Amino acid sequence: MEHEAHNPALLHHFADAQQQKNAASLGMWLFLVTEIMFFGGMFCAYLVYRLAHFNAFAAGSQQLSILLGATNTAVLIISSVTVVLAVKAAEAGKRKVLVGYLVVTVLLGMTFLVIKGFEYREKFEKHHVPGATFNFTDTFDDNGKQIPVNPKEAELFFSLYFAMTGMHALHMIIGCGLFSVLAVLAWKGHYTPGYFTPIENAGLYWHLVDIIWIYLFPLLYLISRHS
Amino acid sequence: MVSKAASTAIPANQVPKLNYLNNGHTLKSWLLTTDHKRIAVLYLISVTFFFFLGGFFAMLIRLELLTPQGDLMQADTYNKVFTMHGMIMVFFFLIPVVPAVLGNFLVPLMIGAKDLAFPRINLLSWYLYVVGGLLITHVMLTGGVDTGWTFYTPFSTDYTNTKIVEAGLAVFIAGFSSIFTGLNFIVTIHRMRAPGLTWDRLPLFIWANYATSLIMILGTPVVAITIVLVAVERLFHLGIFDPRLGGDPLLFQHLFWFYSHPAVYIMILPSMGVVSELIACSARKRIFGYKFVALSSVAIAVFGFLVWAHHMFVAGISLYAAMIFSFLSFSVGVPSAVKVFNWTATLYKGSISYATPMLYAFGFIGLFTMGGLTGLMLATIGIDVHVTDTYFVVAHFHYVMVGGVLMGYLGGLHFWWPKMTGRMYPEAWAKLSALLVFVGFNLTFFPQFILGYVGMPRRYWQYPPEFQTLNVLSTAGASILAAGYLLPMIYFVWSLRYGAIVTDPNPWAAAGLEWKTSSPPPTFNFDETPVVTWEAYNYDEIPPWERRAPVAK
């Protein structure tokens, strides 16, 4: 098949570049819908158990560091801004600026993961990782008042904490990989003001992963810490 | 008539022009193809394999139940056999069969597109399906699973020692195949329609696949995460569904059925779309109430998401929840009945031909109606409590799944066989097989309604002697059914070489856009993009096919 000369990125089965772009964009949005449903199952489990075992979840929540969580939230929001700037640079055809923002985004994503790693390490040290070594005795609130907590229910909180943040982190790792590849391709000049759909779509994915964190942060760290 | 002419064999070398089948002969040209028609053929082969594998397990079940004692196998083996039957048939046959084979082949053709929107993702879907299928086969060969296809906790997470994680992974992977197919269809139907092909001109098969795809992308991710949670619970001893650790097994059932009930609409909706096409063509009429039939597909998809807890009436949900879910389950009957009544109204005063596809469509209408009406009985809380986990339920869903889905699929496969291969199947044999399938099916499953109603529970390898007569009838029916399924397998393969070549690319004189290109179609479907200026099913403008010569003499 001979491709049309003006746009090497146009695939043969599309009538024109606009149709191809619309299709890719709709496809990405639908994929994000599936991601929302995927995480929705875990959010559903979290909300059900939070209602069922309120005290244990409040006590478990207290063990999370608001400082680290808030820092990570800030890191992710900034990375969403750099993604937007990357898309804008691609639109304007500024190749080096585009690569720069993509690299910064990857670095911010990695920063998030490193901070998350420190949080996980603390959970291991305190025996808050579900399993045989799980131990939960810190059942006092900020005022020193004891909260009656069943350790098994607290273990459930940490099970969901690891399942949800772990699945989120996996998406972050995939996103970092994605942007690394795009940065290399962008450096080689694959993207032009007429064709930068992959940058846009990867950006949409990144924003969704951010938004999921925006929901995870208050649900796990913030709400009803003081039962 | 088709059947008379079909006996004349013509050598393959007279097929005139380059088409998707002879455009590349190497294995690589098939395994790395992005042509939706070739991917449909790949699916056809692999789905057929899993159908017969699942059917093999069905025969083992029927053989064991021939006598009241456990003589062919004992409880453990029996549990694994019905689990493999269920998992293979549900996840590797019923869910992909019509969308992945007929849908893949027909969706771009019916809307005048060159391919699906994402051809490489389409190929990826097939590979995911194959990887999932190989994994489930591996599980089967190395010990199997004994939870039933439903993976119910806490049995699956705490008690059984069988291969839950591997089987779950297989279903998880196959689920993504389904998600990508659905995503591809929705984008294609939105973005790739030919000029003039507005939404109210779309064939009903497209509407049905569109509704199916909505369920695929909204439901499948939920079962995927549920299976992940079961797997991590099993691997790391988390307590998400374990009551001893604060979890709740009911939550598993909610999450599981949130997908797995809509999944039955993933199975039945595309077949309903097929039946709409067959009836309009065979009755030579525009489908009665086109818009209602089209929107009833979407309505089924939407209502289908609101009825899942009717699987849990005896599981300990609240009475009020049960009443609401009972009411909502009844409401799905409305769009389903709209379809059945409108098909029947289409037949009224139509000039109906009784070629094989139409026989299957008739079979579908009758059997689906019985499956649907018994579904309403099961949606009634009082009856459901009485017959939960009995053969009544088994008979009900086999009437929908086998009587419905499979009848639609086989009817469609016969109807579009000349489109896919350029050759006709042998009509007389096909009619015989349609008859065998219908008789065998009813003999297999009707006795199970009675068995269930008088109290025979499902999933046991032995039963009290008074149930034997009906079980013998059921097993006899299953044998006839097996012959009815093997026969098409044989003559379809036979017809690839010896079937009469269709000289008219449109042997049925059908109205769809897919018939306006050659049979088999060229790789990019249409020589030039068609412009649609007519409504769907404009049969009053097309002469009936008896006046034409459908195949070579």
Nearest to A48 among B224, B237, B251 (CB): B251
C-alpha B85/C-alpha B63 separation (Å) is 14
pTM of the model: 0.92
* Token output for B53: 């594998």
- Residue B416 CA: distances (Å) to CA of A91, B170, B351, B521: 46, 31, 21, 12
Nearest to B245 among A40, A132, A152 (CB): A152
Q: Are B125 and B100 in contact (CB under 8 A)?
A: yes
Q: What's the pLDDT tens digit per position in B358-412?
A: 999 999 999 999 999 999 999 999 999 999 999 999 999 999 999 999 999 999 9
Please tell me whether residue A195 adopts helix, strand or coil conformation.
Answer: strand
> Tell me, what DSSP letter sits at residue B542?
S
Residue A194 has pLDDT above 60, yes or no: yes
Q: What's the pLDDT tens digit per position in B541-551?
A: 877 655 444 44
C-alpha B293/C-alpha B202 separation (Å) is 12
- As a whole number of Å, the end-to-end CA separation of chain B is 11
Mean pLDDT of A102-116: 97
C-alpha B183/C-alpha B88 separation (Å) is 23
Query: At A10, is the pLDDT very low, low, confident or very high (cuts 50, 70, 90)?
Result: confident
Distance from CA of A24 to the nearest CA of B (A): 8
C-alpha B465/C-alpha B540 separation (Å) is 58
What ipTM, to 2 d.p.? Answer: 0.89
Residue B263 has pLDDT above 80, yes or no: yes
By the CB < 8 Å criterion, does B192 face chain A?
yes
Residue A3 has pLDDT above 60, yes or no: no
Residue B1 has pLDDT above 50, yes or no: no
Average pLDDT, chain A: 90
Q: What's the pLDDT tens digit per position in B167-198?
A: 999 999 999 999 999 999 999 999 999 999 99
> Tell me, what DSSP letter sits at residue B196?
T
Q: What's the pLDDT tens digit per position in A64-107?
A: 999 999 999 999 999 999 999 999 999 999 999 999 999 999 99
Most confident range, picked from B158-162, B242-246, B541-545: B158-162
Mean pLDDT of B5-10: 39
Residue B29 has pLDDT above 70, yes or no: yes
Choose, out of B151, B213, B222, B260, the residue to mutate when testing the contact with A (most A CBs < 10 Å).
B222
By the CB < 8 Å criterion, does A48 face chain B?
yes
Q: A19-222, what's its fold?
A: Four Helix Bundle (Hemerythrin (Met), subunit A) (1.20.120)
Residue burial B16-55, b: 16+ Cβ < 10 Å; e: rest: eeebbbebeeeeeeeeebbbbbbbbbbbbebbbebbebbb
C-alpha A193/C-alpha A202 separation (Å) is 16
The residues, any chain, with a CB within 8 Å of residue B302's CB and separated by 6 or more, are none
Domain locations in chain A as residue ranges: 19-222
- Residue B329 CA: distances (Å) to CA of A213, B323, B358: 36, 10, 30
pLDDT-above-70 percentage for chain B: 95
Nearest to B191 among A19, A49, A131 (CB): A19
- Residue B195 CA: distances (Å) to CA of B36, B418, B531, B543: 21, 27, 5, 25
Mean pLDDT of B512-531: 91
Q: What's the pLDDT tens digit per position in B464-507?
A: 999 999 999 999 999 999 999 999 999 999 999 999 998 888 88
Q: B2-547, what's its fold?
A: Cytochrome C Oxidase; Chain A (1.20.210)
* Token output for B65: 């139940």
Per-residue model confidence (pLDDT) at position A140: 67
Q: Which burial class, exposed, middle or buried, applies to A143 when counting CB atoms under 10 A from its CB (0-12, 13-18, 19+)?
A: exposed
Are the beta carbons of A26 and B247 separated by less than 8 Å? no
Nearest to B272 by CA among B205, B355, B356: B205
Average pLDDT, chain B: 92
Q: Which burial class, exposed, middle or buried, applies to A165 when counting CB atoms under 10 A from its CB (0-12, 13-18, 19+)?
A: buried
Q: How far is CA B326 from the centre of its chain?
A: 25
Q: What does residue A192 show for φ and ψ, rounded to 5 degrees?
A: -125, 165
